[in-house]
């Protein structure tokens, strides 16, 4: 019985899908490369730097258009949704700039990654 309880505790502790928010995931897995003090060292967008994240969103939307020309005229929230979806795909696959697949959160779901990207790309 004690081993079973310990297994449940360990699972709950390490399972990212049980995190309450993007902030929780950020605090646990993303701060090493995306905190404002460390991001310049890794050439990664700092959390809550809205201007830097907007550059990434624009680049992501351009990639999304390359993959699906029918979304080219999108604007507003549609454009933002396509951008976030493309950023999630980049997070899943990793980047050629050095981010490993899923960052350091191998158990993160697509929704977890979306949540943390939305958290990091928003103002504080």
The confidence score (pLDDT) of residue 74 equals 86
pLDDT at 18 over 70: no
What is the per-residue pLDDT for 1? 54
- Confirm whether pTM is higher than 0.85: no
Position 59 pLDDT exceeds 60: yes
Residue ranges per domain, the chain?
2-120
Write down the mean pLDDT value for the chain. 87
Identify how many contiguous H helices and E strands the chain contains and give both numbers: 7, 0
Question: What fold characterizes domain 2-120?
Answer: Cytochrome Bc1 Complex; Chain D, domain 2 (1.10.760)
Provide the CB-side half-sphere exposure for 27 (13 A, CA).
Answer: 6
Of 69 and 9, the structure prediction assigns the larger pLDDT to: 69
Q: Is the sign of the CA dihedral 103, 104, 107, 111 positive or negative? A: negative
48: alpha, beta or left? (left if phi > 0; alpha if psi -120 to 50): left
């Amino acid at each position: 019985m004690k081993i079973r309880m310990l297994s449940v505790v360990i699972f709950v502790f390490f399972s990212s899908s049980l995190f309450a928010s993007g902030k929780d995931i950020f605090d646990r897995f993303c701060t090493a490369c995306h905190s404002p003090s460390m991001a310049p060292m890794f050439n990664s967008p700092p959390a809550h730097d809205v201007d830097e994240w907007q550059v990434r969103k624009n680049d992501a939307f351009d990639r999304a258009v390359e993959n699906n020309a029918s979304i080219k005229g999108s604007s507003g929230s549609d454009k933002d949704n396509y951008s976030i979806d493309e950023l999630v795909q980049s997070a899943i696959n990793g980047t050629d700039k050095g981010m490993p697949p899923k960052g350091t959160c191998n158990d993160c779901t697509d929704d977890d990654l979306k949540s943390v990207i939305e958290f990091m790309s928003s103002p504080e």
